[in-house]
Amino acid sequence: MPANLTPVYRKAEEAYRAAREPAERLEHLKEMLRTIPKHKGTDHLQGDIKRWIKELTEELGSGKQGGKKKGPVHTIRPEGAAQLSLLGAPNAGKSELHAKLTGSRADIGPYPFTTKLPMPGMLGFEDVWFQLVDLPPISSDYIEGWMGNSLQPADGVLLVIDLADPDCAEHLQAIIRQLAEKKIFLHGYWPGLRGPKPVPEPTFDEAGEEIIEDPFRIELPALLVANKSDLVADPESELQVLVELLELDFPTISVSAKTGVGCEAMGPLLFKALQIVRVYTKMPGKQPELDRPFTLRRGQTVLDVARLVHKDIAAGLRYAKIWGTEVFAGQQVGPEHQLADKDVLELHMR
Ligand SMILES: Nc1nc2c(ncn2[C@@H]2O[C@H](COP(=O)(O)OP(=O)(O)OP(=O)(O)O)[C@@H](O)[C@H]2O)c(=O)[nH]1
Ligand SMILES: [Mg+2]
């Protein structure tokens, strides 16, 4: 990636990366294209930006003529504490697992390529909801062109394999290769399991300019979900062999979507892996609202909760009173105080 990119461009790029709504991302992409220095060194990047603008414009059905027919939706708007996408080879059991975990009516078929479009569903754990998105399969010779778009809002991936399939190692390698071609990279760093992915040391080109990362690269933590455990005699050792053979560094879980064995562990595992923190708010002198927590991640602060409540509250926030496991009851804390699971917060404004 060439450097020599202006601060204005970098700002647009940062905004693009932070945006989750497709319409918002499209705006930032246009700003990136407008502000990118136009020279040979940025040709490649300009091409990428144009391609993404085209894809998103199609996705949003807002072609130049305005009257273009709206196509199917490939990007699911995130809801709940996190969005997890189900990826895997044809017939691995993604849809059956989706149906089992979320109660969805995902199409399930004993033949490959049953699922054609993304389908959301919600998996509950205690008072937290995770959004699971069932997706079409990836095979050695096919991946949907819009897969990158679809994975943009995802917080993580459930990489579903059919443990009973003798070709499952090859399928897995093919999937990783197909994703890499779309600049999608899976890793095993879930913040609550192995800690967050280390930030690489900066690298420099011959001219001493910092080489910056490709803005369109997607990196996601993945969980290897070994499905159809009901069809193998010893799922754990089978899984172990596969992990060692392919030198995979993803955390694993073995399940049977058919019998439900192992499925109950998914919610608690995601909760831990993503370091979800639940926060309940209360009004002074009133009981906290315990039915609907705000969900954040470990490391997020009182100010982040205020932002979730309302931007005016965030703007006027002075301090909070807090009840929880890591504080004195009713302790007064500032906007930057980091929250712990099940904290109760009373926000005070200027
Ligand atoms: N024995 C057994 N069969 C399963 C299990 N999970 C799924 N199946 C079966 O495997 C076949 C494929 O399941 P699907 O859920 O449609 O697979 P998929 O991965 O969504 O397939 P595509 O949509 O083509 O990518 C169906 O016949 C399911 O009933 C399982 O845990 N055990
Ligand atoms: Mg399916």
Run of H or E residues at 276? strand 276-281
Q: Given the DSSP bridges, would you call strands 156-162 and 82-88 parallel, antiparallel or unpaired?
A: parallel
Minimum-distance ligand 1 atom for the alpha carbon of 99: 15
In degrees and rounded to multiples of 5, residue 46 shows phi and psi of: -60, -40
- 0.75 surpassed by pTM: yes
- From the number of C-beta atoms within 10 Å of its C-beta (0-12, 13-18, 19+), residue 66 rates as exposed
Query: Within 13 Å and on the Cβ side, how many CA atoms surround 157?
Result: 27
For the stretch 258-267, pLDDT in tens is: 999 999 999 9
Q: Given the DSSP bridges, would you call strands 252-254 and 128-134 parallel, antiparallel or unpaired?
A: unpaired
List the residue whose alpha carbon is closest to atom 27 of ligand 1.
Answer: 110
Question: Ligand nearest 225 Cα, by number?
Answer: 1
Which conformational region is residue 88 in: left (phi greater than 0), alpha (psi within -120 to 50 degrees), or beta?
A: left
Ligand 1, residues at Cβ distance < 6 Å? 88, 90-96, 108-110, 112-115, 136-137, 227-228, 230-231, 256-258
- What pLDDT is recorded for position 70? 63
Minimum-distance ligand 1 atom for the alpha carbon of 228: 31
List the residue whose alpha carbon is closest to atom 30 of ligand 1.
Answer: 228
List the residue whose alpha carbon is closest to atom 12 of ligand 1.
Answer: 91
- What pLDDT is recorded for position 139? 97
Distances (CA, A) of 55 to 48, 143, 150: 11, 15, 11
List the residue whose alpha carbon is closest to atom 6 of ligand 1.
Answer: 93
- Kindly report the number of other CB atoms within 10 A of residue 322's CB atom: 23
Q: Which of 101, 107, 114, 175 to mutate to test the pocket of ligand 1 (most atoms within 8 A of CB)?
A: 114
Which amino acid is residue 284, in one-letter code?
Answer: P
- What pLDDT is recorded for position 289? 85
Tokens matching residue 190: 């879930």
- What pLDDT is recorded for position 68? 53
- What pLDDT is recorded for position 3? 56
Give 96-103 contacts, CB < 8 A, sequence gap 24+. 96/227, 96/257, 96/258, 97/158, 97/160, 97/225, 97/227, 97/255, 97/257, 97/263, 98/132, 98/134, 99/257, 100/257, 100/260, 100/263, 101/132, 101/263, 101/266, 102/132
- Per residue of the chain (350 residues), what is the pLDDT tens digit? 555 788 999 999 999 988 888 889 999 999 999 999 998 888 989 999 999 999 888 888 744 444 455 667 888 999 999 999 999 999 999 999 999 999 999 999 999 999 999 999 999 999 999 999 999 999 999 999 999 989 999 999 999 999 999 999 999 999 999 999 999 999 999 999 998 888 888 888 887 777 777 888 999 999 999 999 999 999 999 999 999 999 999 999 999 999 999 999 999 999 999 999 999 999 988 898 888 899 999 999 999 999 999 999 999 999 999 999 888 899 999 999 999 999 999 999 98
Question: Ligand nearest 119 Cα, by number?
Answer: 2
Minimum-distance ligand 1 atom for the alpha carbon of 231: 1
Q: What is the three-state SS of 138-194?
A: CECCECCCCHHHHHCCCCEEEEEEECCCCCHHHHHHHHHHHHHHCCEEEECCCCCCC
Domains of the chain: 7-60 (no CATH), 82-273 (3.40.50.300), 276-349 (3.10.20.30)
For the stretch 105-151, pLDDT in tens is: 999 999 999 999 999 999 999 999 999 999 999 999 999 999 998 99
For residue 137, give the DSSP letter: -
- What pLDDT is recorded for position 59? 82
**Among 170, 278, 291, 151, which residue's Cα sits nearest to residue 221?**
151
- What pLDDT is recorded for position 344? 96
Q: Which of 85, 87, 91 to mutate to test the pocket of ligand 1 (most atoms within 8 A of CB)?
A: 91
- Taking the centre of ligand 2 as the mean of its atom positions, its distance from the CA of residue 235, in whole angstroms, is 22
Q: Which of 95, 115, 256 to mutate to test the pocket of ligand 1 (most atoms within 8 A of CB)?
A: 95
For residue 262, give the DSSP letter: T
Dist. CA 50–CA 47, nearest whole Å: 5
- What pLDDT is recorded for position 2? 52
Query: What sign does the dihedral 106-95-195-212 (CA atoms) show?
Result: negative
Contact indicator for 185, 122 with CB cutoff of 8 Å: no
